[in-house]
Structure 1
Amino acid sequence: MAVDDRRRHLHTSLRTSTWRGDERVALLSPTPNRPTPTAHDVALHLDGLRLRNTERVVTSALHRHELEPFLANGFVEHERLHLLRHDLLRCPALRPDVPIRRGRRRDRDAVLALDARAFDDFWVLDSDGLDDAIHATPSSRFRVLGRRSESVLGYSVTGIAARRGYLQRLAVDPLHQGRGLGRAMVAESLAELRRAGAVEALVNTQERNQRAYDLYVSCGFVPEPDWLTVLTYPLGSSS
């Protein structure tokens, strides 16, 4: 059983939690604002997870300089992600006709159901995953697309840390894609990040998600030369 040690080990280089609520799978992530973990750090965490009968370990999206300690312990690449940056100088035009409002607790079930329709199984958020996205930065915003009396057609989570904005999550119901709603949500998110004091914004998306990549580029995001990588390790087979 994977254990959530995010609060207990805030001063270590790695933190462990469950992956999308699946107790058989652990999420292993470098702790923000801590030194890059060593291969020994990773090995120690794997030993602890073996004792809890964890079957599989997945990493968060890692930068290139963070990969080696995991690769040295037998992790393999699961997927690469594009990393894109926006300078917030020229943002896409807002769409006043698209109703985007503050997300509330009563919207969560609809948002999670929409998320499950918009992403493949590996990337779908559960309730804890949505909380993680909302609380990943010191300041964040949770927005939904749709009037209170209507269905939720899309949602976004943005955050700011040290004047850098992050588009943490954005999804539009597949039944309503192709109507410019995703672009409207990106425009609203970028405008709000700029108003809140951010000087740049980052977003990542799967290499094979060409539709999302094209959307972000059309909104002024520029691909970074580096990419992000998600690694995985079949812990159960190594016990």
Structure 2
Amino acid sequence: MSGFRASNYPTPPTSTLDEKPDKDTGLTLNMGNDKTSMMSNSSISRTYEAYNSKDFQKWQFKQAKILRERGKAEDMDREKSYIESMIRTVMRGYICHREVDEYSDCLVRRKLVDSSDLARAGPALNTRLAEQFCKSEVATYRQCMESKLNYETIVEAAIGHTCCDDLKVDMVICLEKHSEDRKAQETHCMRDYYSLMRCGLNNMFDEYWRKVSGFGTADEMHLYEVEQDHFKKQAVSKMKSRYGD
């Protein structure tokens, strides 16, 4: 697998401060402010009764597959751009969240952004103003985001994500098949590598988002029920339009 070590992946792109920051690593998740579930307690007991249903489990499997495929593109350059964007996003969430918080706090303190806007959309602002009024925070944030070690840490974590073990096996098989030729590895195995990276990064961000939003099984079940109700309503509507009321 020497041809695809993180150190051989493109060097970290220079971070732009107009991107929306999301948030240590071990890799551990920083909870920040705890948020409550969208569901009421009265709904939870009913929800868990259906949790082990085969239909719900099939739905979960479908959602996991959709998550793995997010960012897939026929154009390899487009897929590469997605992966690099997700690396930066996940790096902000898992490693550079303290720098993001300090940077964001400075923006609010200097009245460059409103705190409510910051919470909703992230610190999109004029970079020159940020560098002028939050110089040390900007420098610390950039140093974290442009760290080669941090970049490689995220790449290695994505490659090793347990939800993507089958894709890792596919990549290893391809690499071993073309082990005598480095160029052949890059030609024939890059698609497998991208698939593995997308899967790992998407799952890492999903875990981060669930942690900071408090989104749990009860909420997942609620979404499943809403989707089923929608399909039922569609079916009834089609029947009515076809056969009349």
Provide TM-score, normalisation by structure 2: 0.22
Larger radius of gyration: 2
Structure in which a larger fraction of residues adopt strand: 1
Structure in which a larger fraction of residues adopt helix: 2
